[in-house]
Structure 1
Amino acid sequence: MENFDLDYALKQFPDVLKAVPMTLLVATVSLLLGFVFGLLISLCRTYKVPVLSQLGALYVSFIRGTPMLVQIYVIFFGTPMLIDYLNKQFGWGLNPYGISPLVYALLAFTVNTSAYQSETIRSALQSTEAGQMEAALSIGMTVRQALFRIIAPQAFLIALPVYGNLFIGLIKGTSLAFAVKVIEIMATTRIIAGGDYRFLEMYIDAAIVYWVLCFLVERLFVLLEKRFSRHEKVMP
């Protein structure tokens, strides 16, 4: 520990904090977009939509069975090739090489989290009482009305703790965005450490920042869970 420079770590800490907005941007936007696609996949699988249900199951299996870093590289190198192919097929004039690294990162993390969110949503929907949908239909509600007025609020409360874990996982997972040149917390840490070869100091800075962020997110979801569960009756 004689070579550990605490003053250096403290001095560089503000520079690491400057990367927090980018980390939160990637994690938050990916979570929201992933929710949209995850919801669609989960509904198709829950209500056994022909073809789409099988495709959704295959998609979830593939994403959950491959490393996140591999998915990032596939999207990073595969997207320009796909755009080139579409340009040739349809006569488009899209520039496949002018895409921002942030777009690749958001796309990769959205693809990844949508698979996990679909399973979370599907489990939450299946955990609600099955007879509630039949009861709602019997009083004249449509499937859509019953889903959003009765089933969804209950499923939301069930899924909320899991979403806290998903968001924390996304925050930590953004450290892989450096692979596509997105300058987030881990990228900033490596860049600074590479200049002075003070890797331990910078990694400790990064660890502290990630820990604080995840702790705050954890507390936020605990508060949300308490707020939305106030209506539930406390069992004696």
Structure 2
Amino acid sequence: MKQILNFEFMIGAFGKILEALPTTILLTVVSMFFAVIIAFLVAIIRIYKVSVLKNITAIYVSFTRGTPLLVQIYLAYYGIPKFLDYINKSHGLSMDISNIPPIIFAFVSFSLNVGAYLSETFRASIEAVDKGQMEAALSVGMTRIQAFKRIIMAQALEMALPNIGNTLISLVKDTSLAFSISIVDLMSQAKLVGAEGLNFFEVYIVVAIIYWIICIFIEKAFVLLEIRFKRYKGGVVV
């Protein structure tokens, strides 16, 4: 009787698909790093209503949240070379556009996408901190920057951790769209392995399990981080 699943193929495919794991991790880590920077800057601009910039950041957040990530990836992939070509022609430069690695476009699109969502998390968390905290810090001689770093951000980060963890998990899964611009990540590798014996169902099960394991690991790591933050709350370290 013929089996529904080719388990022997799945076991072999597991190792082959994992060969692309470093690319997925690289996409996730680099994109999240820049996304956090973007999110923090956007959140501060919108909280303190910085002239002109507040409108630009509001449009950026609205556009990013209102359009599919796949469209944003294609906009970066086809738009950045066009923009650089325009710069070349306008200023008589000779930047080599044709050899830009596709992963750069993925970094840009993922960072901007996650940065928009994360900026709302940061903004909500910072605004949720009691304004009296800043006044109390200033009354004991802290500068506004010191108070913001040591008091406001510490409390805001604790509140934001669950959403940051969820955003990171979403980013890991979203990196599967990188195959659309010829990046060999886990998803792309799965398609290549599945094409070898036309066992696509099996490889998609395998890659789903791999993504699942990664997301469970991130979820557990953020639970531990939340526990750690709560141990510091009130000045008590366990």
**TM-score range normalised by the length of the shorter chain:** over 0.9
Counterpart in the other structure of 2:210: 209
| Displacement of 1:139 | 4.1
In 1, the alpha carbon distance for the partners of 2:62 and 2:127 equals 19
Q: Say whether residues 1:188 and 2:189 are aligned partners.
A: yes
What letter matches 1:6 in structure 2? F
Counterpart in the other structure of 1:101: 102
| Displacement of 1:99 | 0.4
What letter matches 1:223 in structure 2? L
Map 1:52-201 to 2 at 5 A: 52-201=53-202
What letter matches 1:92 in structure 2? L
Counterpart in the other structure of 1:229: 230
Query: Tell me, what secondary structure is at the counterpart of 1:214?
Result: helix
Query: Tell me, what secondary structure is at the counterpart of 1:49?
Result: coil
Query: Tell me, what secondary structure is at the counterpart of 1:230?
Result: helix
- The answer to whether the 8 A contact 1:121-1:155 is kept is yes
| Displacement of 1:142 | 2.8
| Displacement of 1:3 | 3.9
Structure 2, gaps ≥5 residues long: none
CA offsets, 1:79-104, max 9 Å, x none? Answer: 10000111122222111111001111
CA offsets, 1:118-168, max 9 Å, x none? Answer: 111101101111122233334443322221111011111111111110110
| Displacement of 1:193 | 0.9
In 2, the alpha carbon distance for the partners of 1:113 and 1:120 equals 11
In 2, the alpha carbon distance for the partners of 1:157 and 1:6 equals 44
Counterpart in the other structure of 2:45: 44
In 2, the alpha carbon distance for the partners of 1:131 and 1:62 equals 34
In 1, the alpha carbon distance for the partners of 2:44 and 2:4 equals 56
In 1, the alpha carbon distance for the partners of 2:195 and 2:125 equals 45
| Displacement of 1:179 | 0.8
In 2, the alpha carbon distance for the partners of 1:93 and 1:132 equals 53
TM-score, normalised on structure 2?
0.94
In 2, the alpha carbon distance for the partners of 1:44 and 1:192 equals 46
In 1, the alpha carbon distance for the partners of 2:37 and 2:102 equals 22
More off after superposition, 132-141 vs 202-211? 132-141
The size of the alignment, in residue pairs, is 234
Q: Say whether residues 1:220 and 2:221 are aligned partners.
A: yes
TM-score, normalised on structure 1?
0.95
Query: Tell me, what secondary structure is at the counterpart of 2:190?
Result: helix
In 2, the alpha carbon distance for the partners of 1:136 and 1:232 equals 16
Structure 1, gaps ≥5 residues long: none
RMSD value over aligned CA atoms? 1.4
- The answer to whether the 8 A contact 1:79-1:96 is kept is no
What letter matches 1:230 in structure 2? R
In 2, the alpha carbon distance for the partners of 1:232 and 1:125 equals 17
What letter matches 1:185 in structure 2? L
What letter matches 2:108 in structure 1? L
In 1, the alpha carbon distance for the partners of 2:98 and 2:157 equals 40
